[in-house]
Amino acid sequence: MKKLLLLVILAGVGYVVYRQVMAKKAEQDLWSEATMEPDLR
């Protein structure tokens, strides 16, 4: 039972870290797009 609880906790922590990394990447992509010079061709 303790092993199952440990696996559930580790999975939860992994999910939270994954969400934070994806949010940071999305924010970085948005900032990059917002500060990019316009293409005036």
pLDDT in tens, 23-38: 999 999 999 988 988 7
Cα 14 to Cα 6: distance, rounded to the nearest angstrom: 12
With cut-offs at 50, 70 and 90, classify the pLDDT of residue 17. very high
SS3 of residue 1 by DSSP: coil
Dig out the tokens for 13 from the structure: 């922590």
CA 18 from centre of chain: 5
Q: pTM of whole model > 0.75? A: no
